[in-house]
Amino acid sequence: MVTTNYSIEDILARQRQYFSSGLTKPLDFRCQQLQKLKLAIVSRQDKILKALKEDLGKPELEGCFELAVLQDISHAIKNLPQWMKPRKVKTGIETFPSNARIYPEPLGVVLIIAPWNYPFSLMISPLIGAIASGNCAMVKPSELAPHTSQLLRELIEDTFSPEYISIQEGGVEISQKLLSLKFDHIFFTGGTQIGKIVMGAAAQNLTPVTLELGGKSPCIVDKETNLKETAKRITWGKFINAGQTCIAPDYILVDNIIKQDLILALKQCIRDFFGENPAQSPDFARIINIRQFERLRGLLTSGDVIIGGDSNPDTKYIAPTMLDNVSLDSPVMAEEIFGPILPILEYQSLDEAITFVNSKPKPLALYFFSHNKEKQQRILKETSSGGLSFNETIMHVGVTELPFGGVGDSGIGAYHGKASFDVFTHYKSVLSRPFWGDLNWRYAPYTENTVKLFKQMFAKS
C-alpha cells in the first residue's frame, strides 16, 4: 500500500504536474489503468460485499449490484478507441477551403465526492469516466460508510500512484478543504441541499460541476395495469437497500378505483419478500446511522400505518412501511424520504396526477405503470424528470447507454457509458485552412455589394 505524508495541496500540485506530462492521454495508458481497476475490484469482491454488509446491512445480492461497475469498465475499454476519435464536421462556404474537427481532450485534475448509500459503486462509476477520459482524479468516499471507505482506500492506494489517483478520507472538514481548491471539474453525488453548497464553493473557482442529487421520485399507477407485477416491481424498487436509493419510488399516486387493490397487492409482496417479521429477514438492509434512523422514525407519524411501522434503534431497523391518509403538507411529503416508508396517495384523473407532479421540483426519476400507450405518451410529453420508466422501477440505471442524471433540483449533468466519458472531456473545436483560396471578401474596406451578397446568402440558408 502506498502512503504519503503530503498535504492535499501538495498532492493536487503533483497531480497537475503528472497530468501536464501527457502520460494520462494515450489510449493504451487509459485502457491499462481501467484494466488495473477491474482486476483490483475482482480480487476484492468478497471484501467489498463484507464492507457493504457492515456499513448498511446489505444482503449479498444487493451488494453484488454495486459490482456492476465491472461491466462499465469493460464497456469503456471496448469503446474508448471510438470515443477518442476526432470527429469531422461540415464547414460553410464562408470558410472554404477548410476542414473542421472536434477533438476530445481531458479536463485535467478532477474531484469526485461519493455518497454513503451506494458507497462503492457511486465512487467507482464516475472514476471510470475520469480515467477513460485521460484525467487525474482525487476521490472522497463517504465517512458515513467507514468500512467501505477503508476498503476503497486500500484499493486505490494499492492500484494507483497518488500523483495519478488519490483518495482523501475524512468528514466535513476534508470536504470543505477539497472544495476550497481549484479543480478542473467536480463530480458530486448526494442530497440537494449539500449540492447547493458544492455548487457555491465551485463557483468561487469557476469550476464546472456535475451534481447527481435526488428528490421525491413519484410512482403513478393507472387503473389499466397488471396489479401483481406492478406491486412486485414497486416493492422491490422501494425497499431495496432499505429505501436508501436516490431513485427509489418516494410516493405512490394511484387511481382511486384500484387503490385498495394495490394496497393489498403491495402488502402481499412485502410479506412474500421479507416474511411476517422483516427484522428477521436476511434480505432487508439497515439504516446507515442513528441520525438517519431518528429522522425516518419521525416520519412514521405522517399518516396511518397500514403495514410495518416497527423500528429498533439498536439495530437501526425500520420495517418496510406503507402510510395511508397522508396530508400533502405532512413532513413525509416535504422532503425526500430516503428510507423504507412509502406514502400512498390517490387521484381521480390522470390530469390531476400530472398537475400534482408538475407542481413539485423536477424529480430524478418518474415511474408510470399502465398498459395504455396513449397515457404513457402523455406522461412522456407532459412531465419532466431525470429519467422515466414505464412499468418498471430502478432498472433504467443499469442500462449502460442510457445517460443517468437529474434535471432542475434533482441534478446537473449525466453520466454512465459514453456520457461518463463526456462528463470529464472537453470537446475542442479546431478549424484548419490553407493559405490559398482567400477571396478577400471579409477585409475592409467593405462594399455595398458584399453586404448585399451576405444578406441574400443568409436569407436563403
| CA 327 to chain CA centroid, nearest Å | 30
Residue 169 falls in the annotated catalytic set:
no
For 53, residues 6+ apart whose C-beta sits below 8 A from its C-beta are 59, 60, 63
Judge whether 374 counts as a catalytic residue: no
Task: Single out the catalytic residue among 31, 136, 219, 246.
Answer: 246
Among candidate residues 62, 66, 163, 212, the one labeled active-site is 212
- The whole-angstrom separation of Cα 202 and Cα 175 is 12
| Active site members | 212, 246
